[in-house]
Amino acid sequence: MELTDKLEILADAAKYDASCASSGAPKRHSIGKDGFGATTGMGICHSYTPDGRCVSLLKVLLTNYCLYDCQYCVNRRTSNVPRARFTVAEVVKLTTDFYLRNYIDGLFLSSGIIQSADYTMEQLVQVARELREVHQFRGYIHLKTIPDADPALIAAAGRYADRLSVNIELPTQDSVQKLAPEKSVHTIKLAMGSIRRKLDEKAEEPKSPRFAPAGQSTQMIVGADASDDQQILTTAETLYGSYKLKRVYYSAFSPIPQSPKSVPLAPPPMLREHRLYQADFLLRSYGFQVNELLPATGNLALDIDPKLAWALEHREHFPMDLNRAEPHMIARIPGIGLRNAQRLIDLRRLRQIRYADLSRLRCSMKKISPFIITADYFPSNDAGPSEHLRRAMADAPQQMNLWPELQAA
Ligand code: SF4
């Protein structure tokens, strides 16, 4: 098979993995050194799709042959798709050729499992090793880790890769057992734990060998099982706390041709994935906890963002006086992000905050007005009832149902 044919199959097979964003890579370049390639301060990916996916890595599978039969996966053993396999040398060549033509900033490499977990992991490590040691490649490398692989291989992967990831796949153990019976949540968490230990060792001993400087991440598939957003975010919160993940990525389940009956025929609304990313950002950066965003079982609202939904449920905090509020509460006001919250805190050390300051900071005045008090402003009607505000601020048109006949089936 021609290399371009393999590339067509194996790049298409990799598109379902969302966990390729590369933020967090260290600054590195080849100026004054051997080799070629560079990352920038923000990581190498400058372009993100609206749902947060990075678009500038060569994102391929080493192979889409697989011994496993995960029901949600297009590459599962029983799937009737064209198969291909790259050699190590072919992936190395593609990466260097594409990089030198300025098509890509780095490599995201995953694989179906062939022969054994160790054999597959060895092949992935071999690609990264050749790029780094033979070609002096200094661009970004993200390797997907095979959970059952020998920890020594995972440690070797960390020496060459910027980021490692182990997919948790689904939010609950029951779902993994049902839809990916050859996988085990226990093994997946063991792999995450071994990466975390290596990261901790490196942090304690900066002179110890390099290990995945952009940390580890994972991916959860949304909508392949019956888990609701509360379960998904609770799992994410636990993973952040236990394994110091840089990111949890959420990937809306895509129905695949000849899907098994155990998975849905229709995808979840794309907006659900987007709301999960917004909620995840609130967990990581704003100090929210899952039980604040979702105190009961269920899904996040689709028509308004999770911070606005929280504010409407907690009117006792609003309107909030920007000149007196606790600093951490200012960032909880809908329409005020972290950067503007800090700017307002800095400003009020100098003088009273006035309404015009907020438009100068380009805050969304429609969103912010019902929730704030400034030196010269108080919301006229005490912001009105929550339902009224919710209707006025709903920003998400209902997603059109593209598969009505499937949902009706
Ligand atoms: S291990 Fe499962 S998810 Fe991964 S490629 Fe194989 S079938 Fe797909």
Reference 16, options 67, 81, 89; nearest CA is 81
Distance 68 CA to ligand 1 centre (A): 6
The full set of domains in the chain, from first to last, is 3-282 (3.20.20.70), 306-393 (no CATH)
Are the CB atoms for 248 and 283 separated by under 8 Å? no
* Nearest atom in ligand 1 to 77's CA: 7
Q: Own/partner pairs for 208-212, CB < 8 Å, 24+ apart?
A: 209/159, 210/158, 210/159, 211/155, 211/158, 211/159, 212/157, 212/158, 212/161, 212/162, 212/163, 212/164
Nearest residue (by CA) to ligand 1, atom 4, is 112
Sequence-distant (≥ 6) Cβ neighbours of residue 279 within 8 angstroms: 229, 233, 288, 293, 294, 300, 306
Does 73 contact ligand 1 (Cβ within 6 A)? yes
Distance 162 CA to ligand 1 centre (A): 23
Q: For residue 362, what are its two tokens?
A: 């380009």
* Nearest atom in ligand 1 to 67's CA: 6
Question: To which residue do tokens 């790029």 refer?
Answer: 131
Distance 111 CA to ligand 1 centre (A): 8
The pLDDT, as a whole number, for residue 45 is 42
Question: Which residue from 62, 69, 70 has its CB within 8 A of the most atoms of ligand 1, so it is best to mutate?
Answer: 70
Reference 292, options 284, 282, 302, 303; nearest CA is 282
Are the CB atoms for 229 and 300 separated by under 8 Å? yes
Does 332 contact ligand 1 (Cβ within 6 A)? no
The phi and psi torsions of 237 (rounded to 5 degrees) equal -60, -40
**For the chain, which ranges sit under pLDDT 70?**
18-55, 381-384, 395-409
Nearest residue (by CA) to ligand 1, atom 7, is 76
The pLDDT, as a whole number, for residue 257 is 76
The pLDDT, as a whole number, for residue 312 is 94
The pLDDT, as a whole number, for residue 24 is 46
